[in-house]
Structure 1
Amino acid sequence: MVAIKSVKARQIFDSRGNPTVEGSAMLMISCLSLDLIYTFGIFEVDLTCDDGTFARAAVPSGASTVLKMLIKSVGMEGAYEALELRDGGSDYLGKGVLKAVENVNKVIAPALIGKDPIEQAQIDNYMVQQLDGTQNEWGWCKQKLGANAILAVSLAVCKAGASVKKIPLYQHIANLAGNKNLVLPVPAFNVINGGSHAGNKLAMQEFMILPVGASCFKEAMKMGVEVYHNLKVSIVAVIKKKYGQDATNVGDEGGFAPNILPLLAWFDYPPRPVSLAWGYCSIGLQAWNRPDMVPVSLVVTSLSLINWYHPANQILCELENKEGLELLKTAIAKAGYTGKVLIGMDVAASEFYSEKDKTYDLNFKEENNDGSQKISGDGLKNVYKSFVNEYPIVSIEDPFDQDDWTHYAKMTEEIGQEVQIVGDDLLVTNPTRVAKAIKEKACNALLLKVNQIGSVTESIEAVKMSKHAGWGVMASHRSGETEDTFIADLSVGLATGQIKTGAPCRSERLAKYNQLLRIEEELGAAAVYAGAKFRAPVPPY
């Protein structure tokens, strides 16, 4: 019989310098002692046995979680993740986690003494339903103890269970889920950062590359790294001329964060003639019938970067986010992987949606924003469709606000066969929201973030529901990370087929990719790479 002896938490820091929680747990297995250290929010687990066994795992904290905590605190709608408990107050700008530390040390730890870590579901349900017990319309919300506190212990228990059984963590996770097929995921490298992940003007949050044409994970890494460095060496030379010396700065997730300016302009229809002056490829655009607008000048690399629409008697000239796609397309071609490396996007549209007028503001990061770059849900949908027609896009995440179920469903119906529509903020790894999305056909893929829901057991439930609905699943990191590698094992064990954990840059991102390389090597001839089957790598389990 394996029994938990002690659990202890402490506050440490994540990759962005924000406080998170670290703790330790002691288990007794006859004469065997397991010493676990883990962090919350972003949480790290060190597992040490007296025979020398050592293991580590982690869960990150997203850029949006603190904002969502503040939204919840004032009673606003639009935040559906389980509560990541922060201290508030003046210390660390309110981002301290000493309350979560106290909840582990004084509430959770004493209650788990003597329990068997092999019983993952039993322990998770005990923490979620009895020790915390808070609920809202979407299920168990962890508002008493905090999802970061509960999840840290849940992951520590998962890690301990694998060690007790003397099997790899990914195999233990597969056993917990009832999955018989281990699969190495296609990595989705976030190589251009925008949105809340970068200090530039780019509205859309992530531009990713997916090496679906690789034969194995090792080759996928080679493709991703070569495209990334082609983007830096070849393409960024152009960006620097255009955007300055800071064009090669990287965002929270290691992707480049060039200050691509928001160059979206609205015009009434019908328009007056447009004057084109091709010198240094500059285009002069005259604002029609809009006395509040002045002529603007756009500098572009090619005419193909401009796309025109006229829904509802309006014309939209959209540039900056499309330019990110153009840069990726060029970098892929220069690396020699056209057709083998495809493109994905995480728009994170909830960040620039206005509930007041039901519009999306692609200029939301501009301090002096006059509102002239707002677009309707239908207009934004048409922008995405134009992107898909012109670029090899296979995945679009969070294309609309987390409450804009109507436009999610429209887009899934119109392009869902060729492109996976991924729900992140829409679903928050919550089985209840997944069930609603399945019923309404709102999307066709789940972004798996265990810290959004707060336990391993609930995460597995969300994945199984998604797979039975015919959806894809993409395991994901968060923007605030550690060097922990738990999600690498999680992705293989659940056969998600896809994983995104940043660019091939910054050690806390590469740690996950390196762990996947180790797993592939360990599996040897039995290793299977998802490749072109990344949306459905195994039958539902």
Structure 2
Amino acid sequence: MPERPHSVEADPTVEVDLCTSNVLFRAAVSSGTSTGVCEALEFGDNDKTCYMGKGVSRAVEHINKTIAPALISKKLSVANAILGVTLAVCKAAAVEKGVPLYLHIADLADNSEVILPVAAFNVINSNSHAGNTLAMQKFMILPVHGKNFREALSIGVELYHNLKNVIKKKYGKDATNVGDEGGVDVAASEFSGQGNMTWTSSCLMTPAARQRFTASAGIQVVGNDLIVTNLKLMSKVMGEKSCNCVLLKVNQISSVTKSLQVCKLAQWGVMVSHCSGETEDTFIAELLGGFALGKTRLVSLADLSASYNQLLRIEEELGSKAKFAGRNFRHSVAN
């Protein structure tokens, strides 16, 4: 029975309740702000009188009247039907198997070990995610030198707060507003004529569809709008060598199974991304551990604190078996 929780952007989204013989499983679907033309489409209401057209009543009705009966009668391949259902089914399968969700996902990926990712902290926002016009939409930091995920998380959090304090001291409080993905919304005018901030780039995300880069550069070029987690586009981009890393957004491909196919097809790194319209569902943390991917693009602090906390729990549960990607973040086990 789907419900309608709200994302961190206060927009309605879909939540699926899947009932087995004696257990209830629940999964919430995130929603992105900037979407590509080739990714899986969201089924919205487009009724401007309700949530400014962002309601999801039609999606809820589709699940109740089409997907749920087909699932019960076993006439539908659920893994490729709708994201909320596939997430709930994946959770149910883990309980049926009697293992943590991340270990079930690791089994699906044929991974014998769980590797905690390097979190890419979104520290400064711009353009569609903020109110400024800086050339780069996001400035992210990767604390690769931590000895484990817990220490790396601490480094990222401390750097985020210290950066905000530095900007506030130099440019004033108005320069430290927060963008919709948790990064500081720094007005572009604050930087002009007042010195420059120096950044060392180890990873670049392709900013526009159809724009080509050479993937042979000394940095990792992440395919975002070039690929939009689309298997056909991935094959094309790989042939052109336009990038050397794929940005995986589960909501763009709408299936756990297809997400795994993306990781297997990628001949280079994989970066898992949150959505700007995230929920409190921590499935992304379980997927990161199970797929054993090198890094993840998560928003800073409160918006995804539940996912950060779940990754900490996974690391604690694994104990001495826990591994951290660290400086090897460019490479994933899944491929």
Which TM bucket (shorter chain)?
Answer: over 0.9
Equivalent residue runs for 1:487-498 within 5 Å:
487-498=284-295
Which of 457, 461, 466 aligns to 2:257? It is 457
Matched, 1:396 2:204: yes
Match of 2:134 in 1: 202
Matched, 1:534 2:324: no
RMSD: 1.9
Matched, 1:511 2:306: yes
Check whether the contact 1:186–1:534 (CA below 8 A) recurs between aligned residues. yes
Matches of 2:286 and 2:17, distance apart in 1: 21
Q: What percent identity do the matched residue pairs reach? A: 49
Letter paired with 1:235: I
Match of 1:96 in 2: 55
Check whether the contact 2:78–2:85 (CA below 8 A) recurs between aligned residues. no
Match of 1:381 in 2: none
Match of 1:523 in 2: 318
Task: Name segments (4+ residues, structure 1) moved above 3 Å.
Answer: none
SS at match of 1:12: coil
Matches of 1:519 and 1:257, distance apart in 2: 32
Check whether the contact 2:18–2:89 (CA below 8 A) recurs between aligned residues. no
SS at match of 2:204: strand
Matched, 1:253 2:242: no
Matched, 1:154 2:86: yes
Judge which range, 481-490 or 183-192, deviates more.
481-490
Matches of 2:131 and 2:277, distance apart in 1: 15
Match of 1:63 in 2: 33
Structure 1 392/204 Cα, relative in aligned 2: closer, same or farther at 3 Å? closer
Which of 167, 170, 194 aligns to 1:300? It is 194
Matched, 1:233 2:165: yes
Structure 1 203/92 Cα, relative in aligned 2: closer, same or farther at 3 Å? farther
Q: Deviations over 1:424-481 (max 9, x none)?
A: 1111111111111111111100111100011111110001111xx1x11111101111
Letter paired with 2:53: G
Which of 38, 53, 74 aligns to 1:80? It is 38
Which of the two has higher C-alpha Rg? 1
Matched positions, count:
334
Cα displacement (A) at 1:98? 0.7
Q: Deviations over 1:209-231 (max 9, x none)?
A: 00111111011011111111111
Match of 1:338 in 2: none
Matched, 1:431 2:228: no
Matches of 1:523 and 1:513, distance apart in 2: 16
Cα displacement (A) at 1:235? 3.3
Matches of 1:221 and 1:38, distance apart in 2: 25
Letter paired with 1:514: N
Cα displacement (A) at 1:190? 0.3
Matched, 1:480 2:288: no
Structure showing the higher strand proportion among its residues: 1
Which of 412, 419, 422 aligns to 2:215? It is 412
Letter paired with 1:403: R
Q: Normalised by the size of structure 2, how large is the TM-score? A: 0.94
Check whether the contact 2:16–2:88 (CA below 8 A) recurs between aligned residues. no
Letter paired with 2:185: A
SS at match of 1:219: helix
Cα displacement (A) at 1:485? 1.1
Match of 1:281 in 2: none
Structure 1 94/262 Cα, relative in aligned 2: closer, same or farther at 3 Å? farther
Q: Deviations over 1:157-179 (max 9, x none)?
A: 01111111111111111111112
Check whether the contact 2:167–2:175 (CA below 8 A) recurs between aligned residues. no
Greater relative contact order (CA < 8 Å, ≥ 6 in sequence): 2
Check whether the contact 1:202–1:262 (CA below 8 A) recurs between aligned residues. no
Letter paired with 1:423: G
Which of 5, 25, 35 aligns to 2:24? It is 35
Check whether the contact 1:191–1:256 (CA below 8 A) recurs between aligned residues. yes
Cα displacement (A) at 1:204? 2.1
Equivalent residue runs for 1:351-370 within 5 Å:
none
Cα displacement (A) at 1:262? 9.2
SS at match of 1:442: coil
Check whether the contact 2:171–2:190 (CA below 8 A) recurs between aligned residues. no
Check whether the contact 2:27–2:281 (CA below 8 A) recurs between aligned residues. no
SS at match of 1:403: coil
Check whether the contact 1:398–1:422 (CA below 8 A) recurs between aligned residues. yes
Q: Deviations over 1:98-153 (max 9, x none)?
A: 1100100000001101559xxxx95314x3xxxxxxxxxxxxxxxxxxxxxx1110
Unmatched tracts of structure 2, length 5 or more: none
Letter paired with 2:40: A
Letter paired with 1:38: A
Cα displacement (A) at 1:37? 2.9
Q: Normalised by the size of structure 1, how large is the TM-score? A: 0.59
Check whether the contact 1:253–1:509 (CA below 8 A) recurs between aligned residues. no
Cα displacement (A) at 1:299? 1.7
Matches of 1:114 and 1:174, distance apart in 2: 28
Cα displacement (A) at 1:535? 0.9
Check whether the contact 1:61–1:479 (CA below 8 A) recurs between aligned residues. yes
